[in-house]
Amino acid sequence: MKHLAPFILPFLFSFFFSSAICSAADNAKPNVVFIFIDDMGYGDIEPFGSTKVRTPNLNTFAKEGRKFHSFYATPVCSMSRAALMTGCYNQRISIPGVLFPQAKIGINSAETTVAEVMKSAGYTTACIGKWHLGHLPEFLPTKHGFDYYFGLPYSNDMYSKRPGNPPLPLIRGDKTIETEPDQSLLTKRYTEEAIGFMKQNKEKPFFVYLPHTMIHEPLAASEAFKGKSASGLLGDVIEEIDWSVGQVMKTIKELGLDEKTLVIFTSDNGPDMGSAGPFKGRKGSNFEGGVREPCIMRWPGKIPAGTQCNQIAGNIDVLPTLASIVGAKLDPKQIIDGKDISTLMMDDKAGPVRDVHLYCTANLKNPVQAIRMGEWKLFLPDLDEGGAAKKKKGNAPEGNMLFNLEKDPGETTNVFDKNPEIVEKLRKEARTRISEILANRRPVGGAASSK
């Protein structure tokens, strides 16, 4: 035996050493639940100023977490999900505003999604809800890093009541299990699926992406919520979403995972029917109301409770931030736009991480409609010919406009003429950034075969 010791000891040492490292790393890996609402405006819930609905669960969630007041999505659905899933502006990866049931394109398989990043760090992943990055088999969540999928491949108004659309599919995995599902039950069913998944996977780190179908029209609430709010069906639907958040949080606590779970709540674009709070513009607009979202993050012991962050952040930052938190390596050759904002989450005194935000459009020919640098926001009419702005009253910006968002978050006072130097500085920055995106733009999935 004696003569074997020199060979065995290093093995034993390395075995114990590596298992110690593994278990320490696993303990450091929080579960992540990302709740993404469809079409919820900044002012649609009580923590962000609503007085029309009751959101007790979100109120508690906000008290225990941190509110982000400059958290950016994009004007409409698919482009927002593209940004969230890839850490890139939709323009970089050629995803247009909204994908319809007739679309032959979707997220390119060459892109690295946040689910793939989480999987690379040992996570089990689920997407429960509305996907909207391509409904053809190659584009579904199960082909892009999600172990599990249950939900609608696109918006709930893309159903057979609208001429030319096939019956709305409800998918599990990669199979359609129902068509034209009862929409009043979607919030409840998604919630039950998410709870079931967390219970089943409580022993390992999980990533649950929960993109609700509501509060996108046609609105529908289950019997328990229908007619119960003080502000009509929209209020009922928002209050059911609040119930869903409460159920998710209750499950996390019951499973003893409270300290080990980061939960993020936000929305994909401004309100269609609800409230943009103090901001101008609605869904479809690059005024703040179209793109600035309610956002709350909660992780006990890591994120300071009851605090607020006013620094620029957004969906594009989610992928690099989660990669940093879970210790996943990103491919340095894959250019992304987002930054690691974990300091903004965990340090109440953190300075800005990303001083610039581009307000991208749904239109690949006119990629950027406005730019924000610090407190200033400049619209770029000479660089954009209409862009994403829906032709809805008050939504479409016209002409040269500069706003100071800190002094004038409602974009009421155009100070373009008074600040030529700032205008020039922002224009220059916008040109540089747009040129870089166009020079490094990557193709959408399926584009070659559809031509």
Catalytic amino acids?
Answer: 77, 132
Between 147 and 288, CB nearer to Ca ion: 288
In 87-145, where do the E strands start and end? Answer: 124-128
CB 273 → Ca ion: shortest distance, Å? Answer: 12
Q: 47 or 211: whose CB is closer to Ca ion? A: 211
CB of 315 to Ca ion, least distance (A): 12
- 77 vs 140 by CB, closer to Ca ion: 77
Could you tell me the smallest distance in angstroms from the CB atom of residue 297 to Ca ion?
20
Nearest CA-CA partner of 289 in 319, 263, 267 = 267
Q: How far is CA 197 from CA 106, 127, 257, 288, in A?
A: 26, 10, 14, 35
Give, in degrees to the nearest 5, the angle at Cα 123 between 118 and 128: 80
How many other C-beta atoms can be found within 10 angstroms of the C-beta atom of residue 30? 20
- Minimum Å distance from CB 154 to Ca ion? 11
The closest of 283, 205, 187 to 244, measured between CA atoms, is 187
Burial 259-268 (b: 16+ CB within 10 A, else e): ebbbbbbbbb
Q: Tell me if 312 sits within 8 A of 357, measured CB to CB.
A: yes
Cβ proximity to Ca ion, 133 vs 401, nearer residue: 133
Q: Are strands 169-172 and 402-404 parallel, antiparallel or unpaired?
A: unpaired
Question: CB–CB of 170/156 below 8 Å?
Answer: no
Cβ of residue 150: shortest distance to Ca ion, in angstroms?
19
Nearer to Ca ion, 115 or 362 (CB): 362
CA angle 103, 108, 113 (to 5 degrees): 120
Q: Which amino acid is at 239?
A: E
Q: Provide the angle, in degrees to the nearest 10, between the axes of the packed helices 318-326 and 77-86.
A: 30
| Residue 235 burial by Cβ neighbours in a 10 Å radius (0-12, 13-18, 19+) | buried
Q: Please identify, using beta-carbon distances, which residue of 143 and 390 lies nearer to Ca ion.
A: 390
User: 3-class DSSP state for residue 403?
Assistant: strand
Q: Closer to Ca ion by CB, 39 or 340: give it.
A: 39
Considering the complex, state which of residue 39 and residue 317 has its C-beta at the smaller distance from Ca ion.
39
Contacts with Ca ion by CB under 5 A lie at: 38-39, 77, 268-269
Shortest distance (Å) from residue 221 CB to Ca ion: 18
- Shortest distance, CB of residue 131 to Ca ion, whole angstroms? 12
Alpha-carbon distance 227 to 153, whole Å?
Answer: 28
Q: Cβ of residue 133: shortest distance to Ca ion, in angstroms?
A: 13
Q: Phi and psi of 375, rounded to 5°?
A: -85, -10
Work out the angle at residue 437's Cα, subtended by the Cα atoms of residues 432 and 443, and round it to the nearest 5 degrees: 165
H or E stretch covering 357? strand 356-360
Please say which residue, 372 or 390, places its beta carbon nearer to Ca ion.
Answer: 390
For the bound state, the minimum distance from the C-beta of residue 397 to Ca ion, rounded and expressed in Å, comes to 20
| 384 half-sphere exposure, CB direction, 13 A CA radius | 31
Q: How many distinct helices (H) and strands (E) make up the chain?
A: 11, 15
In the complex, which residue's CB is closest to Ca ion? 77
CB distance 399 to 423 below 8 Å: no
